[in-house]
Amino acid sequence: MSRFEALLDAFFYRPDEDVGGLLDFAAGSDDLSPPLLEEEPVEYLAFRLETECYAVPILAVREICKVPLLTEIPRAEPHLLGVMNLRGELLPVYDVKLRLRLAEAPPVVAGPDAGLPPRAARILVLKTDDGPAGVWVDSVAGVVRLKPSMVELSPAGLRGDRDCVAGLGRKGSQLYILLDPEQALAP
């Protein structure tokens, strides 16, 4: 018998072998822990603000629309860009870049001095406790599915203006900053 045949003989099952333990294992035993449950992924809508990628739960998004003409609100909070008319419904439109400290001043996007919005800019209409509200984003990246094991809760030291960050998600090499829509739009 060659060395190769000897290896094959040792590898394959022979009828005279004792396989009692193997049969117990195949049938299952009480000593084994139950199989882990498959993690159900959560869907998020990913979008860009400046150079960072953010995401909100897809269930919080009512719709995505192109940037319409915004009406300026005099003496409004700095992060309130204006209001928009969406099929007869007036919705406030917010800039979360100020809250996230990505910008020092809101852009002029409403009123007589407003220029045209960038082509990729969109308004995310989010469902909130106070009713629907729009959020200006630089572009929409798409839907991303993250398993709970891919998400870290917001770091404990993150307070103040960035308390709207609910956590961090990673899929491959892409990092997603997960926002709490209610906190992001809070005054």
Residues linked to residue 41 through DSSP beta bridges, in sequence order: none
pLDDT in tens, 88-130: 999 999 999 888 888 877 777 776 777 788 899 999 999 998 8
Q: Which helix (H) or strand (E) holds 183?
A: helix 181-185
β-partners of residue 57 are: 44
Q: pLDDT tens digits, residue range 8-61? A: 666 665 666 665 555 555 444 444 445 556 788 899 999 999 999 999 999 999
Does residue 150 contact residue 40 with C-beta atoms inside 8 Å?
A: no
The pTM score is 0.72
Mean pLDDT over 145-174 rounds to 79
pLDDT at 28: 46
Q: How far apart are the first and last CA of the chain?
A: 83
* All residues at 6 or more sequence positions from 54 whose CB lies less than 8 Å from its CB, including other chains: 46, 47, 48, 137, 176, 177, 178, 179
Residue 120: both structure tokens together:
């990729």
- The 10 Å Cβ neighbour count of residue 162 is 16
pLDDT for res 17? 64
Q: Are the C-beta atoms of residues 144 and 161 closer than 8 Å to each other?
A: no
Q: Answer whether residue 132 shows pLDDT above 70.
A: yes
At residue 29, the pLDDT reads 45
